[in-house]
Every structure is written in structure tokens, then in C-alpha cells.
Amino acid sequence: MEIPFTVTARKDTGLFNAKVGIWLFLASEVMLFGGLFSGYVFLRIYADYPWPERTLPVLPGLINTFVLIGSSVTVVFAWASLKMRQWRRFQVFMSLTIACAGVFLILKGIEYKAKWEHQAVRMDDFAVIEGHTHKAELDEKGHMHVAHGHGEEEHGTRFWANRLIFKTEAASFSLVRAYEPWVDTMLEQAKERHAELVASEDVFLYGHPADYPAPEVERKAAEQKLIGEHKNSKPSQHRFGKNSLYVAKGTPLNYRLLEKARGVFVAGRAGNAKVRTRVLRSKWDVAHAEHPGKPNWEIADRVKIEPADLAGKVVGLTPALSFDLKPAIPLVLKRSWIRNRPLAAGAEKASLRDDTSLTGHLEDSPIALAVDAVDFRFMAMKAEEADKNPMTVIERSWIFSEKNAHAEDFKKVWELHKKRIKKVEEHLVDKYGYKDEAKKIPDRVPTETERYRIGWKDLVQYARAQKMGVEPGQKEFAKLRPTMTEGFAGPNHKNKEYTEELHPFLELEIPHQKVSLESKFTPKWNTYYAIYFTLTGLHGLHVVGGAIVLSYYLFFSKGLYRRNPEWLANRVEVGGLFWHFVDLVWIFLFPILYLM
Amino acid sequence: MSAEAAAEDHDDHHHELPFWRKYIYSTDHKVIGIQYGVTALLFLAFGFFLMMVMRWSIAYPEEPLPGWMSWVFSEEWKARWLQDGRLTGETYNMFGAMHGTIMVFLGIVPLGFAAFGNFVTPLQIGTVDMAFPKLNMVSYWCYGVGGLLMLGSFFMESGAAKSGWTNYSPLANFADGQIINQFLAGQTQWLLGMVFLITSSLLGAINFLTTIINLRAKGMTWMRLPFFVWAILVTGFLLLLAFPPLEVAALMQLMDRTVGSSFFVPTGLYTKTAGVIEASGGGSPLLYQHLFWFLGHPEVYVLLIPAIACVAEVIPVNTRKPLWGYKPMVWSILCVGFLSFVVWAHHMYLTGMGPVISTWFQTTTVMISVPSVILLTSLIISLWGGSIRFNVPMLWAVAFLPMFGIGGITGLPLAFNLVDLHLHDTYYVIGHFHYVVAPGVLFGFFAGIYHWFPKITGRHFDTFLGHLHFWPSLIFMNLLFFPMLVQGMAGFHRRWYNGGDAYLAKAEDSVNVFGNTVAEWIYLNPLMSWAAWLLALSQVPFVINLVFSIRWGKKIKNDNPWDATTLEWATPTPPPHGNFTFDVGAYRGPYEYSRDDHEGDFFPQWEEPRKDKPAEEPVKEPVK
């Protein structure tokens, strides 16, 4: 049974099936990317923070544009070669197309990697700091030290300097919710620092009412008996009764233990619920019999479970197990694990999002980074909204205060920056004059970005200027700015000139309490990067998908070419149409994201 | 191309396919249609069960679920999700969200568009299969995976999604946020399931549209297409063009949940458990709503149109006269399709969009009622002067008309933003859309199932069981949904989980107007709940009928038991792989019943014109 019009076109529509199909598919793709572009417009219009204009490196995007356009041309040549039954030429052009896709993806990968490794911090006063986090280590006393030194070699105990150090004495784990990877991480860190997590006390978990004598005296006696039976062996957990568990004090923690305990807890809870339901049902039956014809909402407050109804039929439930850390050691935790953020300095309790509760002491764990950008635009925007002078607010912010150990370095850069902006203002007045002569309102002023954002290129320029004694306003000053190729995908912290001579990027330690949001340059950082990664990521996936299909035609279609070359040509045409669409989306993406 | 002529091609169709290729991984549109149909009916039953549980808590608040309802749940599940056997608000919301999701996306759309569309469309246009049979199979399995994800989410620690079938941010962003690995959270699995379902629908739409455009048999011009095919065409375009923005919304919400983006998170959002959310903010919950409803509105037409399609096929066959106003109906359905894209924000009147935008959507919404009414009116007028056979399919089709009529008319007040101020999020809305979908669309589908069952299986449904299915269903549907309109106008909110008992005026002489109004109408709750449970019981004759008739139903006497005119009745029964055993073509319109110039009662589309007769004139007036 053959489907008609798979190879030859139908007369009245002039199309073969796959062509109809691909155009329909492309219509849906237009709606897909259209939805995303509409989202972009919406997010940009309604953004309540300074939208990052022109922060993306243009060069990789520009190269990618031409690479894709080229690949659109070569895919047409590949199809034409098939129509002309020139197999070798088809192979050549299809290979070129796929190679272009590869180049595109590599450049995209370089761009993405640069962003994922770049740290951003928004402080509670809306100052934005960008840079590269350092690696840190704990000393014997458990205090954090930045591990300066080049190379990102993973020493076992080194960690990124954006973590929280919590010196932990005890940890209580929720039986139902404890998250295995976090428990394992804590166990690993404990092992590294030669500490043990052991049960704080003797715990009895009851899973069946038969194991749970109702009178407390009796129960306590039974528990003491169990403790006695096992006191001479190594501390461990022991099953007893129908479905209950005794965890001896000192039992070492592992996730299997928590799982066993969870099983008992869930069984106990289920048994209790069954009994309670039965009791409540019978209470309702009685209530309905006593008040016939009355709806529930008139008699509900008279129906309740009395404790006496449950005696002897339910068990006490223990939802968490507590473990001591012997000796108390600092645990290195990711900020996102903590539920009660921000943890105050020296906080004695930390709750994690899986209901683990840590007792101890929060050590000093500032975010330590090499700063390559300081951005006061958000602060300035907030100041203007509150009718305050932005410059005053900026100069009173934490980064210039005595609370910042590196304040002097930042003040120096800020002074130089102010000098430069003044020169820009003067230059603009010289060139464009005033729009209101009387009130001396200039026609053009520096943008918010110029005024309030000191980017990495500025820092490099200022460092070079200071070294060579060049002042802003002088002609040579402009020449000191890094070129397009110098920072291909962003600031290069490994550049030899920077690391050995200039040191343009400033050191900084930001206390965790002053951080309102820290993130890499990922979708989490702001809605701009969120829509950027979604748009380019989805587009990138389409490039990958298209490349896979085209590769299939390149490598596996010889047989089909021999049997039915026209059918293959149709397939390649349809694939080429998809490829053109992918290119067209990029033609829209590039100016909107990179140039506007 | 006929089955015989193509017999010399493709070796793999010569010998019998193994069981798993024939019934599980089939690429035959008929098998796939049945797969979709059976799966969808199972999902409908499951969604119905969820609602039955919800209705207990509405009718009998504070009382534990009865044994006959709670036996299906495990003790551990009940301990986690019920409170002393009573439905909690959280569990009610979970059931409510999944009831909506399952009924709409796993039940009605697959049944209407994919099941009926798959089985009937290639037959009615006279071709061998869909344009892309393998893609058809992939569509079904995407649906399967999506459905499994949705069902599986009930077993997660977090439970299934619980933020309404609409899944609005910011609630839907943060519900189940306490689960560390988000891929084990019900809300996230809902989003992933939706991505699979959307993919399935998109691939299906491409297949259907290409088939209808490019594979029609010779002589099957656009205006000779059965109305069913036009309806499937429009539905396909709606799915194709409206689903992608929802995919975008789902993707964005997925990213908000997994990588911490703030597409839909406004600045400074505060929750009780986490305090001020540590996210970038700057996002907009309104963006989600626009993206959702851009699909959401065309989606309700996706639900409706295949049902109209079924009814439009059943009525001419059983009145023995052509469909009245075929051409206006075609234009109307095209208009409905187009207009459905520009009415979406009538679901968002209360978001503060402002009067200008609200007025635009109010206008387009009122406009869209015109072609809808043309469709319904044409179907009603089609009965006029007909020689009506009230067999069971016709009962369902005729009942559809007033039921959908009530549903449609009750929608009109909601179109006006002023009236919607009072009715938004009340039971009135629930009554309106359930009237359209439950006694409306479902009755249309039952008409289709009873109508085409003989073609699918070669046997008739038992008539007595059919009546036993129909009459109680009709009665209980109305007893269940009509009071909702009343309660809604009294102000009952649509997501109350205890039927409104918390809002009752407490004191005898209370001046709480709302509390007194609630007290006046709350008695309807148990009535509606019993109607729902008895409605469930009324479906049992259908299940028995299905199982019984497949094996022991009365065998059909010929391949065209209803004496119908459309091409699907020209095949052997059941239709073989390749469908037609002769070179099929369409020689006239689809509803040539009771023609003046023809001896027989009906003139099938596929019958070749006799050489000795004069050339046929197309019949312009309906025959009296």
C-alpha cells in the first residue's frame, strides 16, 4: 500500500506531501518563536530594573550570522546537486552545511560557557557586582581562606567562594523529606574532616499499634529493656515487634537508615489514619442518626474524635531523627540549600529546604571574587524613584564605606570614572550644544550605562591609563580601550597582560547578609538572561536537530539515492526549508538580542 | 490508489504483521484511531472519578470519604493526602486541577480530534491512510508518554499538580517548590507531560492537514467534503497555530521551576515558607495568562468542533435529507476558527487590563457567537421536514442540540466584561462550560461512537443498553449542571472545597448578605453530587454494551447498515489495510438523500453516474 504523492506532486496543489507538511510545521514554529519574541517584548516593556542593553559580545554573534547565512546557501546547492543527480557535489555541499552548523554551535558554546562561569551579585542596596569567584579552602580552625593561585584544579577540599560555612554541632533529618544527595554530601564532608554523624539519643520508631503500649510507664519500661538488651554491642538500629525500629544512641548515619526509619514512620502514620478515619466515620454515622435530615454544615461542629476513642489503637510518631556531629565541623553549603535566607551573621540555626535542621554557628563566609564590573544603574534608578540624588546615594553605598576592606581601591576607580564622565559631558556639549540656552540643559548627555556602569573594558582602560599616566580627555585615552577581539566572549581573567602587569580587576569580599541575589549569568540572574537563554537555547536545539537530520541524509542516504533519487531530493528539499527557517529565526534573534 | 493495485509494492504488507506491529506499534490510521479512542475513554473515566471524590467533599463537608469511594486508595496514600479520611483543601485542589487537565487534554481532545479524526477522515476523503503513517504512530506514543507522566505524578511525594488546570503563576511556580529535585515534583511533571501532549497534537495536526489537503480522492473537491472533514481541518489549524504559545508558557514555567528564572515572578514576591523569594523578579504573571489563554480559547473550539462534526454526520443519515445550509456552515466554521484566535482575553477581564482592551475582546467574543449560532441553527433546521429515525445515535445527536444551546447561551453573559465582574470564577462559569463539554461535546461523541461502531466492528450496539445509557445520562447531566448556573449567580466560588460551608452566615439574624445567599442555595450541593454519582452509574450500560457487542452484537447485514452516502461506508467491514477495494472517487456531494431525480432513497457519493442517464445537476434546494 503506497501513499500517493510522496514523491510526485499532486496536480491541483502542486505539492508533494512532505512539502505541505513542512510548511504547516513551519507555521507552528513561527507561532512558537513568535510566542517567545512576544514574551521578550512584554518582559522588556514591563521590566522594573535597568534592561541590559548591548551587554552581549557582538563578535561571536556576528560571525554566527554569516556562518548560518552561508550554510543556507550551501544547503540549496546540496539539494540542486541531488536534482541534477551529482552525488559527489551533494556530499560536498551537505558537508559544508553541517560544518557551518558545527561552527555555529562551537561559538555558541564558547559564549554560553563564558556566561556560566561569570558571577553576578546584587546587593541589598541594589549595587550590582560582577566578576569571577575565587576558590577557597578551610583552615584547621574551620575559617575560610581564599585560595589564590591560578588554575582551577579541583583540590578535594577547595570550593567556590560563594558558599556558606556553617559550623555544625547537630543535624536533624526529616524522615520523609531528607534529600539523599545532600545527606551524602554532608557525610562526605564529615569523612574528609574526620568527623562522624551519630544518633544523638536512643530513638524508638513505632509502625504498628501492637508494639506501642498505651500507658506511658509501660512503654518506657519496654524501651529501657530494649536499650539494655543491646547495650553491649556496637550502636546500631534493630527491628522489634511487628514493624518498629530502635535506633541506638551513637548509631552512625547513612541514608539507608533514614529510609528504614521512613518506612516505619509511613506505616505508623497509615495505621493511625486508618483508625482515625474509622472513628470519625462512626461519629458521623451517630450524628446523622441523631439529627436526621440535617445537612453536614449544621452538625459538623458536634462531630469530633475524642482522644479516648484512639487509646491503644494509635502510635506516637517521630518525624525526624537527630544526629550529633562529633567533633563539630564546618559544613560547606550552597546558599540555595538554605530555607531561612538570608542567614544572619553568627546564626545558630540553619534550616535546609529538605527540612533538615542544623544547629551550630554560621562562620564568616563572604563571597570572594575578582570584580570586573560595578553597576550602579539599579541603585540610581531606585534613588530617582525615591526622589534622591543618585550620585549621593552611590557614594554612600557599602562598597565605598569603611565596612568594605577594599573601599580605597574602589574609590580610586570611581574618581577616575567621574573624571571621565565629566569629559564626556563636556565633549557632548561642545559637539551638540544646549537645547535650552537659558537653563543650560545640554542637548545630549551620557547614557545611564555610561554614567553608572563601570564595565570590564572601563576597568582595563583605567588601569592602563593609570599605568601610563594618561588622563581622560586626552586622545591616547580612547586608544587604551580593549578591542572587539581582546574580549571575544567577555572579560578574560586569564589574559597575561591583566594577570601579570595591569591587575585591572579588583578584589572584593561581600558578606552574605548584604547579598540579595547571587547567580552566574544564567536565566536566574534576570529576565533578560532568562529570555536570552530560552530564545537562543531553543534556536540552538533546532540547529542541532536540523544538523542531525541533514547528517542522516549525508551519511545514510546512498541506498535511497540509488533506489529513488527524486524521493531523496524531496527529503533534502524539505530539510533545507527547515534549515532556512532556522536561519531566519537567527536573523531576527541577532539584532534584537545583541544589537538593541 | 486501491489496495489491489498496490499489492505488488512493499513486501512487509504481504504477510501478516506480528501482534505488536499490528496492534501496539501500528501505523494504520484505523488502529491508531481505536488506540486513541480506548485510551481517551479510560482517561475520561479516571477524570470522572476524581470529580466524584471532589463532589463528596462539596456535598458532605467534614465527613470522611465513604468506603465505596476510598477503597481504591492505599492506606499510605490516604494517610498522606486525607485528614482523618476527609478530603483536605490541598487534595481537593490537586484533584480539581488534574480533573480539568485530564478531561481536556487527555480525554476530549484525543477522543474527538485524534480518535474520530484518525479513523474517519482518510475513509471519508477516499484515501488509503494518513499522509505520514509513522508520524501518526509517534503522535499516539507521545500522547501515551504524556498521559503516563500525568498519571505518575499522583504517586510523587508532592502529589500531582494542584494549581488549577490553568496552572497560573505565581502559585504554579511555587507549588511543590519544597521538592528539591524538581523532576520529581508533580507540578514540573505536569509541565513535562504538557510538552509531550502538545507535541503529539502538533504532529497530529500536521498529519491531518496534509492528508486533507493532498490526499483527497479524485472528484473529492472542497465543497463535496463531508462537513466532518471541514471540521477536522479547522480543528487541525487551531491546534497547529494555538498550541505553540502554550508550549512557550510551559517551557518558561519549567525554567522558573528548575533553573530559577523569573519569567512569571514579579519583584518582591513573598511566600510564607520562604519569605521574600530569592529570585531576580522583574517578571510578569500576566505574561503567563496571555500565553495560556492564547491557546486556551482556541482549545475550547478544539473540544467543540469535532463534536459538531459527529452530529453533522449523524443527522443527515437519520433524517434522510441533506444537511441544511452546508455552505454557510462551512463558512461559519472557518470564521469560528479564525475568530477563536482573537477572543482569548475574555478569560482575563479581571486582571486589570483596562477598558479599552476589554472592549476589543468583548466585541470579538460577541462576534464569534454569530457563526456558532449559524452552525447550531443549521443543524436544528436540518431536522425540519426530515423522515427522522430515532435510533440511538440520533438520540444523542438530537440531545446535543439543546444541551449545546444552553451551554452556548449561558456563555453570552460571560462575554460582557461588566457581567463577568460578577460571574467570573463562580459556579456559573463551571455550569456554562460543562454544559458545552459534558452534555454537549460528549453527547456528540457518543452519537459518533454509536454511529460508526458498526463500521469499526461489523456489529450493532444493543439498542436497549443504548437507551439505558442515554436517558439517565441526559437526566443526570441536567440535574448536575443546571443548579451550578443558579449557584454561580448567587456567587458561589468555583474552587470552594467544602461546598461553601465556611461562608454561611452564622447567626440567625445575620446581616451578612453573602452568607445569607450562600445559605439559600447551599442545599443544592448534595443534589448535584448525587446526580454526579448516578451519572457515573449511567455509564455502566455503555461499558457493558461495548464489551458485549464487540463479540456478540447483532451482525450487520451489509457494509452500509445506515444507508449513508459518505465514502467510509463504501469499504468492507471492518475496513482492511488500504481501506478501499476499488478505485474510489467522489461523484457528487456528501448528503444526497431523497433526491427528486434519483429513484433510490439515497445516492451514495461513490456510486458512479450511470452512462445512460443525463448528467447530474447539483441539487440546490433541500428536497421537500
| Whether residue A382 sits in one domain with residue A452 | yes
> Whose CA is closest to A396, among A126, A197, A587?
A126
Residue B492 and residue B453 in contact, taking contact as beta carbons nearer than 8 Å: no
Q: What is the pLDDT of residue A219?
A: 92
CATH of the domain at A103: 1.20.120.80
d(CA A185, CA A224): 34
Q: What is the pLDDT of residue B163?
A: 96
- In the predicted model, is pLDDT for residue B387 greater than 80? yes
- In the predicted model, is pLDDT for residue B211 greater than 50? yes
Number of domains making up chain A: 3
Residue A489 domain-assigned? yes
Give the residue with greater pLDDT, A485 vs A206: A206
Residue ending a domain, among A471, A503, A520, is: A520
Interface test with A, best of B9, B261, B276, B520 (most A CBs within 10 A): B261
Can you say whether the dihedral through the CA atoms of A385, A391, A392, A394 is positive or negative?
A: positive
Domain of A173?
162-365
Kindly state the average pLDDT of the residues B518-547. Answer: 96
| Whether residue A403 sits in one domain with residue A379 | yes
The C-alpha of A342 sits at a distance from chain B's nearest C-alpha, in angstroms, of 9
> Whose CA is closest to A465, among A481, A441, A444, A488?
A481
| Whether residue A323 sits in one domain with residue A280 | yes
CB-based contact, A63 to chain B, within 8 Å: no
Kindly state the average pLDDT of the residues B13-35. Answer: 81
Whole-number mean pLDDT of chain A?
Answer: 93
The C-alpha of A333 sits at a distance from chain B's nearest C-alpha, in angstroms, of 15
Of A273, A284, A305, the CB nearest to B63: A284
| Whether residue A280 sits in one domain with residue A331 | yes
Residue A135 domain-assigned? no
> Whose CA is closest to B412, among B353, B379, B372?
B372
The C-alpha of A502 sits at a distance from chain B's nearest C-alpha, in angstroms, of 33
Residue A125 domain-assigned? no
Kindly state the average pLDDT of the residues A253-273. Answer: 96
Give the tens place of pLDDT for each residue, B327-369.
999 999 999 999 999 999 999 999 998 899 999 999 999 999 9
Residue A136 domain-assigned? no
Of A15, A32, A182, the CB nearest to B248: A32
| Whether residue A445 sits in one domain with residue A353 | no
CB-based contact, A162 to chain B, within 8 Å: no
Segment 3-32 of chain A within 8 Å of chain B by CB: 3-5, 10, 13, 15-17, 20-21, 24-25, 27-29, 31-32
| Cα dihedral: B444, B446, B447, B449 (round 10) | 130
Instruction: Count contacts between A and B (CB, < 8 Å).
Output: 234
Segment 266-325 of chain A within 8 Å of chain B by CB: 266-267, 269-274, 276-277, 279-281, 284, 295-297, 300, 303, 305
Beta carbons of B209 and A39 less than 8 Å apart: no
CB-based contact, A541 to chain B, within 8 Å: no
Residue ending a domain, among A480, A505, A520, is: A520
Percent of chain A with pLDDT over 70: 98
- Confidence bin at A383 (pLDDT 50/70/90): very high
Give the tens place of pLDDT for each residue, A141-157.
778 888 875 455 545 57
| Whether residue A360 sits in one domain with residue A322 | yes
Q: In B153-284, which residue ranges form alpha helices assigned H by DSSP?
A: 171-174, 186-214, 227-258
Residue A127 domain-assigned? no
Residue A126 domain-assigned? no
Whole-number mean pLDDT of chain B?
Answer: 93
Measure the N-to-C terminal CA separation of chain B; round to a whole number of Å: 38
Q: What is the pLDDT of residue A562?
A: 94
Kindly state the average pLDDT of the residues A160-167. Answer: 93
What's the grid cell of residue A191?
569523612
Per residue in A15-48, is it b (16+ CB within 10 Å) or e — as a string?
bbbbbbbbbbbebbbbbbbebbbbbbebbbeebb
Q: Quick one: angle between helices B326-339 and B285-319, nearest 10?
A: 170
Which residues of chain A does B9 touch, with a Cβ-Cβ cutoff of 8 Å?
Answer: 1-2
- Confidence bin at B4 (pLDDT 50/70/90): very low
Percent of chain B with pLDDT over 70: 96
Of A25, A266, A530, the CB nearest to B206: A25
Beta carbons of B75 and A522 less than 8 Å apart: no
Give the tens place of pLDDT for each residue, A528-563.
999 999 999 999 999 999 999 999 999 999 999 999
Kindly state the average pLDDT of the residues A416-437. Answer: 92
Beta carbons of B240 and A24 less than 8 Å apart: yes
Q: What is the pLDDT of residue B614?
A: 65
Helix (H) or strand (E) holding A266: helix A255-290
- In the predicted model, is pLDDT for residue A436 greater than 90? no
Give the tens place of pLDDT for each residue, A492-521.
888 888 888 888 999 999 999 999 999 999
Of B78, B207, B282, the CB nearest to A48: B282
Residue ending a domain, among A520, A545, A577, is: A520
| Whether residue A482 sits in one domain with residue A515 | yes
Residue B567 and residue B606 in contact, taking contact as beta carbons nearer than 8 Å: yes
d(CA B65, CA A301): 18
**Helix, coil or strand: residue A368:** strand
Residue A10 domain-assigned? no
Of A10, A269, A336, the CB nearest to B79: A269
d(CA B527, CA B480): 8
| Whether residue A386 sits in one domain with residue A471 | yes
- In the predicted model, is pLDDT for residue B9 greater than 50? no
Residue B271 and residue B174 in contact, taking contact as beta carbons nearer than 8 Å: yes
Residue A151 domain-assigned? no
Beta carbons of B287 and A42 less than 8 Å apart: yes
| Whether residue A582 sits in one domain with residue A508 | no
| Whether residue A500 sits in one domain with residue A437 | yes
| Whether residue A270 sits in one domain with residue A360 | yes
d(CA A129, CA A146): 18
| Whether residue A266 sits in one domain with residue A359 | yes
Peptide bond into B590 cis (omega under 30): no
